[in-house]
Structure 1
Amino acid sequence: MIDPYGRYISYLRVSVTDRCDFRCQYCMSENMTFLPKKDVLSLEELELVTAAFIRKGVRKIRITGGEPLVRKDIMTLFRNLGLYLKSGELSELTLTTNGSQLEKYAGDLHSAGVRRINVSLDTLDPDRFREITRWGDFARVMRGIDAAQAAGLHVKINTVALKGFNEGELGDIVRWAGERGMDVSFIETMPLGAIDALRSDQYLPLSKVKADLAKDWTLTPSAYRTGGPSDYFDVAETGGRVGFITPLTHNFCESCNRVRLTCTGMLYMCLGQEDNADLRAALRRDPSLAALDAAIVEAIGRKPKGHDFVIDRQHDDRPAVSRHMNVTGG
């Protein structure tokens, strides 16, 4: 699949649920209303839609949420998608998680063919962790990371850089991740959905983070790429890598190879745009899958050039799009 700007679409992010067992302050409000079951694709439907993308040349699938591992029977989907790895039709099946369920599922994930996962973790301080996640158990996440590494999964840490919250410990996260053989990516907070705080109070540009880290760490541009938006640097002192995901200070749209499928079957061609395609309707009205295939082709044909995220008080802290990140998928 080639979009209007000549970009080969080879990467699909699939949100399997909007539900999460955390309530991270930059992601969602504490009192969220989640989708009714009838609006959510079944696991069988999610597999059918994902398989359609694989037939059209998608080589990498990332399962997201919400928190994907809270979805009932989710390992069935991982096992079935893992068959496409065995056949060679799929190059990678991976996962973004908050780590809360990894202690239970790490071994099953590896057995299904997952080899690399991202764990979202914004602080190493248990009290701060509880504050930012509202409901999270730091010790449980640490046990989950231990279990993932013991199972043979390569773990990358995703950390949202937040002004006034964790900016003083980002160097500690680099050191900790390096000591454990894990890479870390820092992410700018994104204006997705209304939350219980002002995003301009949270926003920390990664240009500043990189400059601050460079005072203590030797960072050199890395040739390492995952197909995602991270711009990686090798860290001489740890032997690991640190990535920077900068949707605001320097967007990564020119090389975007990704589309996102929500758990309701809506396909978003761009994280920062509202335009979407209703693949659920196409799937449910035509068992032959012809309508689904046609809807995918039509949607890719209108993938936009990029997003225009802005966070400042002049824009009244309005979200760029109304939907929360847990709806689109992390």
Structure 2
Amino acid sequence: MSQPMIDPFGRTVNYLRVSVTDRCDFRCVYCMAEDMTFLPKREVLSLEELDRLCSAFIDKGVRKLRLTGGEPLVRKNIMSLIRSLSRHLDSGALEELTITTNGSQLARFADELAACGIKRINVSIDTLDPQKFKTVTRWGDLGKVMDGIRAAREAGLAIKVNMVALKGVNEHEIVPMMQWCHENGHDLTLIETMPLGEINEDRTDQYLPLDRVRAMIAENHTLEDIPYKTGGPARYVKVRETGGRVGFITPMTHNFCESCNRVRVTCTGMLYMCLGQEDNADLRAALRASESDELLYQAIDEAIGRKPEGHDFVIDRNRPQVAVSRHMSVTGG
């Protein structure tokens, strides 16, 4: 049961991303429609089931665990799950427990997150302009997010800012965002928009290739490729003039599938072996069929044996706008 998870292409799976909720207090234009219909509670794994599922993956070799959403910190009693999972940090079975958040709830939870052994977090911010932030997130308040970042920094958490590069929306804010991040000791990771779920926008209008962004940054900055890794797909550079790091996540222009060490579990217990494919395994059924974890281990092993070599995301005007029908908030951001 504790054998490492190795996929058909020889890649060891040691990084798990788990969505604890599909709900969010933002409605980002590239992520979901404004009038989203969320899952009924009976379909969502309980906190106890999430703990059991994560623990099974840790038994099978997961060393990095990231909690996502939706917005994970809006899940009721989420800190009880985080406190429970921190036992795997204490035992040494888990190397890192992290979260990806929109920052709206950080002022409330930063101290407790740090007390649970979380060392770093990802915060999604696509613009530092308050009005544009409101436009991109529809419901977000940049001031509240900044308060959360200050609280996280004061609690001793390292912060990486995730910024989705959106053509015609924030492309001219990327360099100022990089400078702000580095002045405040934060890494910045830039992400290409992906064709996940129906939204109210045309993704061909949003899509901004990051090779173009890198060239733009390099016009006035010296970028040095570095081997720094956090376990995820970002490829990092160091910016000589600022001394800070910038990561590039490029699922569209230069996919990172050859080194993929990740799988994702939705808040309903569906295991997706690839973000860009629909194939999945129902772990909720295995969880609820028996108090023993034997069926769960079997379901995980069978699914890892089907992990594909890679995704085939494409965004152009001659192809369907949605490569995968589920929203990012369902799979886990």
- Give the TM-score of the pair, scaled to structure 1: 0.99
Q: Deviations over 1:59-97 (max 9, x none)?
A: 000000000000000001111111100000000000000
Q: Secondary structure at the match of 2:86?
A: helix
Residue equivalent to 2:326: 323
Residue equivalent to 1:122: 126
Q: Choose the corresponding residue for 1:184, options 161, 185, 188.
A: 188
Between the aligned partners of 1:210 and 1:34, the Cα distance in structure 2 is 37
Structure 1 residue runs of 4 or more that deviate by more than 3 Å after TM superposition: none
Between the aligned partners of 2:48 and 2:72, the Cα distance in structure 1 is 15
Q: Secondary structure at the match of 1:185?
A: strand
Residue equivalent to 1:86: 90
Residue equivalent to 1:15: 19
Between the aligned partners of 1:13 and 1:312, the Cα distance in structure 2 is 29
Q: Choose the corresponding residue for 2:158, options 154, 158, 169.
A: 154
Give yes or no for the alignment of 1:70 onto 2:74. Answer: yes
Q: Equivalent residues in 2 for 1:277-288 (5 A)?
A: 277-288=281-292
Percent identical residues: 66
Q: Secondary structure at the match of 1:314?
A: coil
Give yes or no for the alignment of 1:204 onto 2:208. Answer: yes
Between the aligned partners of 1:122 and 1:219, the Cα distance in structure 2 is 22
Q: Aligned letter for 2:154?
A: A
Between the aligned partners of 2:194 and 2:168, the Cα distance in structure 1 is 16
Q: Secondary structure at the match of 2:242?
A: coil
Residue equivalent to 1:215: 219
Q: Secondary structure at the match of 2:190?
A: strand
Residue equivalent to 1:28: 32
Any stretches of 5+ residues in structure 1 without a counterpart? none
Between the aligned partners of 1:169 and 1:30, the Cα distance in structure 2 is 24
Residue equivalent to 1:163: 167
Residue equivalent to 1:309: 313
Give yes or no for the alignment of 1:244 onto 2:248. Answer: yes
Q: Equivalent residues in 2 for 1:288-307 (5 A)?
A: 288-307=292-311
Between the aligned partners of 1:245 and 1:217, the Cα distance in structure 2 is 19
- Give the TM-score of the pair, scaled to structure 2: 0.98
Between the aligned partners of 2:282 and 2:309, the Cα distance in structure 1 is 20
Q: Deviations over 1:87-116 (max 9, x none)?
A: 000000000000000000000000011001
Between the aligned partners of 1:316 and 1:157, the Cα distance in structure 2 is 30
How far the C-alpha of 1:268 sits from its partner, in A, is 0.2
Q: Aligned letter for 1:247?
A: P
Q: Aligned letter for 2:70?
A: G
How far the C-alpha of 1:239 sits from its partner, in A, is 1.0
Between the aligned partners of 2:101 and 2:320, the Cα distance in structure 1 is 31
Q: Secondary structure at the match of 1:220?
A: strand
Q: Secondary structure at the match of 2:161?
A: strand
How far the C-alpha of 1:167 sits from its partner, in A, is 0.3
Residue equivalent to 1:56: 60
User: Alpha carbon RMSD of aligned pairs, Å?
Assistant: 0.5
Q: Choose the corresponding residue for 1:226, options 209, 218, 230.
A: 230
Q: Secondary structure at the match of 1:131?
A: helix
Between the aligned partners of 1:217 and 1:23, the Cα distance in structure 2 is 34
How far the C-alpha of 1:316 sits from its partner, in A, is 3.7
Residue equivalent to 1:268: 272
Q: Aligned letter for 1:256?
A: C
Q: Choose the corresponding residue for 1:257, options 251, 254, 261.
A: 261
Q: Aligned letter for 1:86?
A: D
Q: Aligned letter for 1:279?
A: L
Residue equivalent to 2:51: 47
Any stretches of 5+ residues in structure 2 without a counterpart? none
How far the C-alpha of 1:177 sits from its partner, in A, is 0.2
Structure 2 vs 1, CA of residues 302 and 316 (structure 1 numbering), >3 Å: closer, same or farther? closer
